[in-house]
Amino acid sequence: MLTESSAAVVRATLPAVGAAIEDITERFYGKLFAARPELLRDLFNRGNQAARTQRQALAGSIAAFATYLVEHPDERPDVMLNRIAHKHASLGVRADQYPLVHRHLFEAIAEVLGDAVTPEVAAAWDEVYWLMANALIAIETRLYAEQGVTGGDVWRQWEVVARTEETPQVASFLLRPADGHPAPTFRAGQYVSVQVQLADGARQIRQYSLTGAPSATTRAIAVKQVTGTGGDPDGEVSRHLHTHVRQGDQLRVSAPYGDLVLEPGDAPLLLASAGIGCTPMLAMLEQLVATGHPGPVTVVHADLSPGDHALRADHEALTAKLPAATAHFWYEDPDSGHRTGRVDLTDVPLETGTRAYLCGPLPFMRAVRGQLLDKGVAAADIHYEVFGPDLWLAQA
């Protein structure tokens, strides 16, 4: 992996780079979007850029990758790389875009760190960048090949065949390929990207988990209207889908990607979600029902109230179809008739060897992960999905 000489330089300069990494990424994005404004308009999430979360995720992933190379010189952080590559593939990121990122990123590094960037330092961090970039390019090339596409051409037109208002904030959309060809296969837990053209001409992209059975001929997504808080803007794409998209309309949808997927076998499972994080869990339940999973399945969900729990009837019905499954719902509404407050697994029995799958806000997943570790679940058996920039992975 990283050469010994470069490893020594990276180890020595990592504190300085880490301290300045957010300044570096801010300047990088400024340069990138000034040179290629269409990338902010049609590829990057403008909401995440405004909230600065994408910058935090990039900064954290670069620092985490470099740290891993230094601390584990004969290994590669494949969990991080696979997660990033799946997200890139869902966006149609191409190999020829990596040199563009390299140029603006290293200009930003030189400007922020100044004379500290000697030729030796530049060469060492250049090696770090291309180790990460080439690994991602290889994984993304494989992911594209698995879907039968090349060069990041992941997009197809899909027709909305039904729309259902699940809650006041969540609408589900049933989709089928507009060209009449079969829908691409997917694994339960994966997501698709949806690209819509907004009023200002921008073609913004967001990811949504597939909620239906992998064996179905149609595909389903559930979209929560994102309302900005603390000065952050409302969700542009979710607002557009809720306001404008109806049965008979068409959407531009990517091939399915995502690394939060059920592993084969009869191991005991925990499917824990909060809010709209229930969506990948529903696809997993659909698969478990279809395959007749005989092992124990513990379903955990947290929400504001039963009325805010999107697809609640499906959540309950699918759980009831499994021979050894139990559901535990927590609601903030004290009059819900269910458990109230935050999820507490103290009295929830879990079998030895449980594999856990989590999806929801970061505070929820951190809390549940901590409880699972306390109950003896192995860290390697706890898997998660984040909607938006993966700040948890970057900080791990």
Print the SS3 string covering 291-347: HCCCCCEEEEEEECCHHHCCCHHHHHHHHHHCCCEEEEEEECCCCCCCEECCCCCCC
Pairing assessment for the beta strands 170-177 and 382-385 based on DSSP bridges: unpaired
Question: pLDDT tens, 57-97?
Answer: 887 888 889 999 999 988 899 988 999 999 999 999 999 99
Whole-model pTM: value is 0.94
As a whole number of angstroms, the distance between CA 147 and CA 85 comes to: 14
The string over 166-182, giving b where at least 16 C-beta atoms fall within 10 Å of a residue's C-beta and e elsewhere, is bbebbbbbbbbbeeeee
Q: What is the pLDDT averaged over residues 274-299?
A: 97
Report yes or no: 394 and 386 within 8 Å, Cβ to Cβ.
no
Report yes or no: 253 and 193 within 8 Å, Cβ to Cβ.
yes
State whether the Cα torsion 300-306-310-316 is positive or negative.
positive
* pLDDT exceeds cutoff 70 at 396: no
Q: Please name every residue paired with 330 in a beta bridge, in sequence order, or none if there are none.
A: 302, 339
User: Which helix or strand (DSSP H or E) is residue 175 part of?
Assistant: strand 170-177
Question: pLDDT tens, 342-381?
Answer: 999 999 999 999 999 999 999 999 999 999 999 999 999 9
* pLDDT exceeds cutoff 60 at 175: yes
The angle formed by the CA atoms of residues 156, 224 and 341, to the nearest 5 degrees, is 145
DSSP state of 234: P
User: Which helix or strand (DSSP H or E) is residue 163 part of?
Assistant: strand 155-165
- Determine the pLDDT at residue 390: 56
Tokens encoding 340: 């109230």
Question: pLDDT tens, 16-64?
Answer: 998 998 899 999 999 999 999 999 999 999 988 887 888 878 878 888 8
Band of residue 320 on the pLDDT scale cut at 50, 70, 90: very high
As a whole number of angstroms, the distance between CA 374 and CA 367 comes to: 11
35 phi and psi angles, rounded to 5 deg: -80, -35
Starting at the earlier edge strand, list the strands of the sheet with 250-254. 203-209, 191-197, 250-254, 155-165, 170-177, 219-224
As a whole number of angstroms, the distance between CA 66 and CA 63 comes to: 5
169 phi and psi angles, rounded to 5 deg: -110, -10
Cα–Cα distances in Å, from 390 out to 22, 84, 279? 15, 9, 18
**Number of DSSP helices (H) and strands (E) in the chain, helices first:** 12, 12
Q: Which residues carry out catalysis?
A: 98, 140
